[in-house]
């Protein structure tokens, strides 16, 4: 089990993908990190941008064994690259891309 964090300007009681905004770097989705300080910085940034709420970090326990599910569609970037930059650009521009269950760096 690992702990994953989400930074926002409100407390997240339950994940609702319908409330996720489009045109984000890795597409519409609920963004998590295993780096708590990164979530804290995002919470501060999100609160500043929204102009309401207070910086809030929500923590979630996650069983990494679920990542072994072969039916998940995963897009992995080992490091920043041309492919990564074009993927981010396409998402920010709202271009049609394949849907992924998980997008990120590392394993």
Predicted TM-score (pTM) of this structure = 0.82
Torsion angle (degrees, nearest 10) of CA 24, 27, 30, 31: -60
Q: What is the pLDDT of residues 28-66, one digit of tens each?
A: 999 999 999 999 999 999 999 999 999 999 999 999 888
Q: Domain total for the chain?
A: 1
Cα-Cα end-to-end distance for the chain? 15
Which residue, among 28, 27, 29, has the nearest Cα to 91 in the 3D structure? 27
Predicted confidence (pLDDT) at residue 87 exceeds the cutoff of 90: yes
Q: Do 77 and 104 form a contact (C-beta atoms < 8 A)?
A: yes
Domain that holds residue 20: 2-105
């Amino acid at each position: 089990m690992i702990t994953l964090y989400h930074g926002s300007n409100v407390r997240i009681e339950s994940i609702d993908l319908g409330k996720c905004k489009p045109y984000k770097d890795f597409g519409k989705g609920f963004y998590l990190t295993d780096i708590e300080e990164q979530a804290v910085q995002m919470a501060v940034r999100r609160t500043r941008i929204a102009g309401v709420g207070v910086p809030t970090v929500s923590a979630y326990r996650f069983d990494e064994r679920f990542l072994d599910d072969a039916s998940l569609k995963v897009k992995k970037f080992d490091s920043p690259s041309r492919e990564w930059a074009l993927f981010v650009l396409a998402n920010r521009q709202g271009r049609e891309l394949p849907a992924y269950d998980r997008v990120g760096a590392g394993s």
